[in-house]
Amino acid sequence: MNYDIIGDVHGHAYELIVLLNKMGYTLSPKGHYHYPGRMAIFVGDYIDRGPQSRDVCRIVRRMVENESAIALMGNHEYNAICFHTLNTSSNESNQGYLREHTLKNIKQHYETLESYNHQEELELDIEWFKKLPLYYENESFRVVHACWHAEKIDYLKSVNNDESFNKLGMSYGFLEKSVDKKSKEYEAVEILLKGLESPTPGDIPFKDKDGNERNAFRVKWWVTPVNATYKSISAPPNNHLPEITIELDVLSSIDFYNQNDKIIFFGHYWLDGEPKIQSSNICCLDYSVAKKGKLVAYRYDGEDSLNNSKLIW
């Protein structure tokens, strides 16, 4: 079996169809895209930002249900699950949701809500999101949405029968723990789906791409941190951070990926420019389709080293 790993789609169904057609996928009589002998793997983030979240979910779900694709959970699917799940542990009369319906969170999810004609259809997709695995691994490569972290993955395996966790979905008990910032479940979900972060120098805040104020930045966990600056180690390079060397003890808690380890594919980081691999075993596939960038895939055919010529968009 050969594989096509596809980056963040974010509600851009037209671009997804164009990419699938370009790779030779065709519609079956059942109405799903397929390519005999190949399996598509989606890194997550099917919804939000773009206008066609519902249509993207139709395409990806049909492929998964007909065994022509594997779909991982992204942070936007996880956020949607929590946004639509009541917090039953609250003692307040108005129990609220696991993800608060603040103006910021509603704004982020608005395009998705607008793309669905029927509440029941949205609820069914939310239930499907719960069944999406947080990572994929075979003997040749790994796939995760934002960050491969062996310790957190081992923890998830220890507290959840891995087979049921990946195939039967997140239980309410797990979801409730995952929103508790003091829990190991929160740490695992936060890192796998949102990435590793480090404090800004002096905890000085900056505004992210959505205008939200932050005092921690996403770290390029896939690079060798020696002689890195705050700006160069941030993902993507953050112009609010200084070009001064970051001390290694500041990064001591970061589990940087081994450059000799198994091939890894991921998304999440809003890269721009000409798509390229990060190294012979590391490939980020998020090239900002939701900001007029590119929807990118890597065509993996069993090679030991990744090659830029295998990227397609």
Q: How far apart are CA 173 and CA 156, in angstroms?
A: 14
pLDDT digits (tens, 9 = 90+) for 135-160: 999 999 999 999 999 999 999 888 76
pLDDT digits (tens, 9 = 90+) for 97-132: 999 999 999 999 999 999 999 999 999 999 999 999
Which tops the pLDDT comparison, 289 or 92?
Answer: 289
Q: How far apart are CA 73 and CA 131, in angstroms?
A: 8
Given this model, what pLDDT does residue 161 score? Answer: 60
What is the rounded average pLDDT for all residues in the chain? Answer: 91
Amino acid (one-letter) located at 94: N
- Average pLDDT on 40-59 reads 98
Query: How many CA within 13 A on the CB side of residue 227?
Result: 0
Name the E strands within 43-149: 69-71, 135-137, 141-144
Given this model, what pLDDT does residue 241 score? Answer: 85
Cβ contact 191:208 at 8 Å: no
Reduce the DSSP state of residue 237 to 3 states and report it: coil
- Average pLDDT on 201-211 reads 72
Cβ contact 270:262 at 8 Å: no
* Spans of all domains in the chain: 2-149+258-312, 197-254
Cβ contact 115:230 at 8 Å: no
Provide the pLDDT confidence category of residue 95 given band limits of 50, 70 and 90: low
- Average pLDDT on 12-39 reads 97
Provide the pLDDT confidence category of residue 91 given band limits of 50, 70 and 90: low
What is the topology classification, in CATH, of domain 2-149+258-312?
Purple Acid Phosphatase; chain A, domain 2 (3.60.21)
pTM here is: 0.92
Q: How far apart are CA 285 and CA 208, in angstroms?
A: 20
Residue 44 has pLDDT above 60, yes or no: yes
Q: How far apart are CA 216 and CA 193, in angstroms?
A: 16
